[in-house]
Chain A
C-alpha cells in the first residue's frame, strides 16, 4: 500500500514537470506537484513507527509559515537569490536526514548503531557529502546574487589542485567512516564538504550564476537521491533523479548559451583580470548619444521594434515602464516583440518571469532561435540592460573571450538603441563595437528612468 501511494506521488511529480511544457498546462502541473507532496507526507505519517504527530505537525507549521511568508513577500527580481536560498535548505535537510539515520538506524531499518549495513553507510555519506556541498555552495551563491558578497570571481593559486585534494580527502574520510562508523568522522565529512562547497562556487562570477544556480539545483536532486538509496525509498530516488536531471539539463542549456563547457564555467575565473586589457583603443571612436525624445522619435517612425532585455533591466526594475512603452508603441500600430537570450539575467528564464510580471503577453516574448532571423527585417532594436549577448565580436573576433557565443543579431536591424548606465563593458570585460556604429544611438541613464521618459515623449 505504502509503495503504491509513493508511486502515485512520484507519478504526480513527473506530471508536474510535464505540465511546464506550456504556460496553459503549467498551473495544473503545479497542483499535481502539491497533491503528490501531500500524498507523500500523509503516507509517511501513517507508518506505525511514526507517533509524534504534534511535534511533526508543529515543525511543518513552522517551516510552512516561514516558507509561505518568504514566497509571498519576495520581489520577482530577487528570484535568483530566493532559489539559491531554497537550494541550500534542501542540502541542509539532506545532511540532517542522513545524520538522523546514522544516529537511529533502527528507525530506518538499516541496521543497529555501530553495525549499520555497509551499503547504507556508503549511500548515507554520499548523500551527506552532496547535501553539504549544495548547502554551502548555495549559501555563497545567495550571497553573490544578493550582493552581500562581491559577485567578482575570486581566484587564487592552486585553486583546482586544492579542490581536488579536498575531494580525495573526502573519499578517504568516507572509506574510514564505513570502516569504523565514528560520529566524529561523520561530522568531519560534513565540515570538509561544506568547505568544498564554498571553494567550488568562490571562483564563479556574477553572470555565470545561471549555470551555478542550475548546477546547485541539480546537486540538491542528487542529494535527495543519495538519501533515497540510504532509506531504500523509491519515491526519493525517482524525485531526486528528476530534479538532478532537470538541473543538469538547465546547466547544459546555460553553458551552451555562453559557448562554454560546463567544466569551464565550474573552474571559473572568467572575466576577472582581463577587464582592463580588453577595452583598448576605442577611446578615439565616436559614440552617438541620444536622449529619450530621440528614442521616442526613432521608434514612433518604425514599423517594428524588437526589445532585448538583460540583467540591467532587472537591476533597475524597469520591466513595468518597459511594458508601458511597448503598449504605447503597439497602439501606434508598431509591431513590438521581445528577444530573450538564454543566459540573460541571473537564472534560467529570469527575463521571462519579469516580463510576465509586467503583463507582457508571453506570445510576444521569443527565444533566440525563434527571433534571430527576424532582426534584418526589423527597423529598431531596443537593447535595455544587455551587452555581451549582442556583441558581434562573438562572431567575428576569434581572440575575444566571448567568441563563439550565440548572440542576438541586433546589428542587422536598421538602427539600434542601447540603454546603458555608462560605457562600461559587460561582464565579459569585452568592448562592444556596436556602440560605435553609425546606426547605433546610446541612451545613457537608468533603465527605468529612461523608459519612463520615453513613455512621456511618446504620449506627448
Chain B
C-alpha cells in the first residue's frame, strides 16, 4: 500500500488486462446451454465487493462509513447466497436428466 500510487495503479492495470484475457477465453468455452447458470455464477462472484464493504464496516463505533459498509454487506450477501443457490438449483436440473437417461439406456 505504501508504494507509489502510480506503480500500484499500473500493477492493477496489468492484473486487469490479464484477467480480461483469461475471462475472454474461459467464457467462450462455456457451453451455450449453460449461459443462464453462467449469469448466476458471475452474479454471485461479482458480489466479492463484499470485501470492500467488510473493510468499511470493520472499525468499532458507528459512523456514516460504517453504516454504508453494513448496507453493502447486506446487499452483497443477498447476491452471494442468492446467486450461488439459484445456480445450484439450475445445475442440479441439468444433472437429474443425465442420470435418468443413463438409467434408461
Interface centre among A51, A63, A101, A109 (most CB of B within 10 A): A63
Query: Can you show 29 pairs from A to B with CB atoms below 8 A apart?
Result: A17-B26, A30-B87, A30-B88, A33-B84, A34-B84, A50-B57, A63-B76, A63-B79, A63-B80, A66-B74, A66-B78, A66-B81, A67-B78, A71-B89, A90-B47, A93-B76, A100-B57, A100-B64, A100-B69, A103-B64, A232-B12, A235-B51, A242-B27, A242-B42, A243-B43, A249-B24, A253-B32, A352-B32, A353-B93
A361 at interface, CB cutoff 8 A: yes
Partner of A67, one of B68, B71, B77: B77
Contact call A51/B60, Cβ cutoff below 8 A? yes
Q: In chain A, what residue has the closest Cβ to B89?
A: A71
Task: List chain A residues, Cβ under 8 A from B5.
Answer: 117, 119-120
CB distance from B34 to the nearest CB of A (A): 5
CB distance from B85 to the nearest CB of A (A): 4
Within 8 A of A (CB), among B1-48: 1, 5-6, 8-9, 11-12, 15-17, 19-20, 22-24, 26-48
Interface residues of A, Cβ cutoff 8 Å to B: 9-10, 13-14, 16-18, 20-24, 26-27, 29-30, 33-34, 36-37, 40-41, 44-45, 47, 49-52, 55-56, 59-68, 70-72, 74, 76, 79, 82-83, 86-87, 89-90, 92-94, 96-97, 99-101, 103-104, 107-109, 117, 119-120, 213-214, 217, 220-221, 223-225, 227-247, 249-250, 253, 340, 342, 347-350, 352-353, 356-357, 359-363, 365, 367
Task: List chain B residues, Cβ under 8 A from A86.
Answer: 43, 78-79, 82-83
Please count the residue pairs between chain A and chain B whose beta carbons lie under 8 angstroms apart in the complex.
Answer: 387
Contact call B85/A67, Cβ cutoff below 8 A? yes
Q: Is the interface of B mostly helix, strand, loop or mixed?
A: helix
Interface residues of B, Cβ cutoff 8 Å to A: 1, 5-6, 8-9, 11-12, 15-17, 19-20, 22-24, 26-60, 63-66, 68-98, 100-101
CB distance from B77 to the nearest CB of A (A): 3
A268 to B40, CA, bound (A): 25
Task: List chain B residues, Cβ under 8 A from A36.
Answer: 45
A34 to B50, CA, bound (A): 14
CB distance from A125 to the nearest CB of B (A): 15
Partner of A100, one of B15, B29, B68, B74: B68
